[in-house]
Amino acid sequence: METTLRGVGVSHGVAIGEVRHMGTAVLEPPAKQIPAEEAEREQGRARQAVEAVAADLIARGNLAGGEAQHVLEAQAMMAQDPELMADVDRRIAVGSTAERGVYDAFAAYRALLANAGEYLAGRVADLDDVRNRIVARLLGVPMPGVPDSDEPYVLIARDLAPADTALLDPTLVLGFVTEEGGPTSHSAILARALGVPAVVALPGAGELAEGTVIAVDGSTGEIFVEPTADKRAELEAAAAVRRAALSASTGPGATSDGHKVPLLANIGGPADVPAAVEAGAEGVGLFRTEFLFLDDSKQAPSEEKQVEAYRKVLEAFPEGRVVVRVLDAGADKPLEFLTPAEEPNPALGVRGLRSLLEHPDVLRTQLTALAKAVKGLPVYLEVMAPMVADRTDAKAFADACRAAGLQAKFGAMVEIPSAALRARSILQEVEFLSLGTNDLAQYTFAADRQVGAVSRLQDPWQPALLDLVAESAEAAKAEGKSCGVCGEAAADPLLACVLTGLGVTSLSMGAKAIPYVRATLAKHTLAQCERAAAAARATDTADEARSAAQAVLSGE
């Protein structure tokens, strides 16, 4: 009998196939004491396993390319963390085996993350994956990973580590469903980059029996277990309509009555540019420069290396707009040379612009590199600061840009409610705003963006979040300046129409989402988008907001 389950849809499309479950490594090795004379040998075994796993992660990243490469390189750094390795060595020195020392050291670090307010809970899945890979190598058991299958299937997992998601074969893995995660987890981000339909935060997903046929709708978050022939036909027809709309939609983003809404791409570096160009991106709305800095957590990249990376991106968009976010470090992206070693709650501490203002040399080098990279190029460069709280922050950033001789527009990200509420004040110092809806939701609702248990509060359809978007857009309009969205909210085609109706002037998203958003915007007038936005804001829950907007845009 057909039943329906609902999680959080994070990657568009429909997948119908049999369930296959993710394999896992042995999680806990046996506890046994070793004689003191074996400690050095065991420490060597542990180091070799760590280096082998790190090398494998880097190799997977090189194969995957793009954003996946940056994520996997960061995970490799996690495996080689010197403090973790020192703890492993200490545990082995007092009698643990290599595998037990690794297991216990990672468990202790895991507990530290939880005690830090769980901001890093989303990285716990990455940490567990690294631990499992190292322990599996030491025990000589199979690595965790996707199941072997000659036939296409729908993958089910508690969560998917970046190492697994990055190398999924879309010809075999029709889609995936996870129990954990949220709209901004690594699984969700990489699923969108791959173009694989995906649903996350589905309680009980692991209880679906192997071989069960399910239909996954990555747009609505619905899972249909043992779908009827009629339901299959309905889903396949809807998918065909979507594909036809995508192929017919080309050119710049605009509503059906010609209101222009530039559609830009979120990228992590030069490797992501080809996909953005292929999708028809009108430029870059978020260039996450921190991935360049994650190559070496102990020191910042040289000015020359930064110039080279920035220029490759800028050259790809002649006459286009490229918005660069300066280094956003801290919290889940700690860097030894920049962020404090210990903070009670990193999410509320020294991160983003706060870190850069405490290390002006790092900011100065980056801004100087951008000034050199753009020289002589016919591109519209805009540079923005992350985690701007107030006008004082905005002024400090603008002053630093001018001091570096940067010929560009200076902007501020709206990720903290105070910035939305005082947007007109901030716009006295900068020329544009860019809404980071992921962090803005996190700080508005006190809901960790990586924890599945609070994913409903991370839903970008929450009316309170829409209110803050509207406040920011209205402030920008009053000041004659622009206000874009570069968070994951922009990748939802229906929500893109609502954001347009709220007054947002540009939308930036993963490259794979651009055709969906372009096609949906082209079906509606600006007035329809405005009515949908008003209807959504008049509700009390995310589900009600979504339904209200859908009703307006479908003419119900």
| Residue 21 among the catalytic residues | no
Q: 478 φ, ψ to 5°?
A: -65, -30
The H-or-E segment that residue 199 falls in is strand 198-200
User: Positive or negative CA dihedral for 391, 397, 402, 408?
Assistant: negative
Q: How many residues does the chain have?
A: 556
Which among 483, 486, 497, 529 is annotated as catalytic? 486
Paired strand residues for 8: 200
Angle subtended at Cα 497 by Cα 322 and Cα 517, rounded to the nearest 5 degrees: 55
Q: How far apart are CA 490 and CA 418, in angstroms?
A: 21
Q: How far apart are CA 402 and CA 399, in angstroms?
A: 5
Q: How far apart are CA 413 and CA 435, in angstroms?
A: 6
| Radius of gyration from C-alpha coordinates of the chain | 24
CB-based burial, 44-63: b 16+ in 10 Å, e otherwise: ebbeebbeebbebbbebbee
The CB-side HSE value for 344 (13 A sphere, CA atoms) comes to 1
Kindly list the distances between the CA atom of residue 49 and the CA atoms of 52, 59, 132, 297, in Å, as whole numbers in the listed order. 5, 15, 11, 21
Where do we find the tokens 């790092």? 362
Please say whether the beta carbons of 447 and 347 come within 8 A. no
Kindly list the distances between the CA atom of residue 442 and the CA atoms of 136, 145, 258, in Å, as whole numbers in the listed order. 35, 30, 34
Please say whether the beta carbons of 88 and 46 come within 8 A. yes
Residue 168 CA to its chain's centroid (Å)? 17
Which among 186, 401, 497, 524 is annotated as catalytic? 186
Where do we find the tokens 């870059």? 284
**Segments of 238-311 assigned E as strands:** 263-267, 283-288
Q: How far apart are CA 46 and CA 90, in angstroms?
A: 12
Please say whether the beta carbons of 85 and 47 come within 8 A. yes
Please say whether the beta carbons of 506 and 261 come within 8 A. yes
* Collapsed DSSP state (helix, strand, coil) of residue 393: helix
Copy the structure tokens of residue 264. Answer: 């830009």
| Residue 259 among the catalytic residues | no
The H-or-E segment that residue 4 falls in is strand 3-6
Active site residues: 186, 486
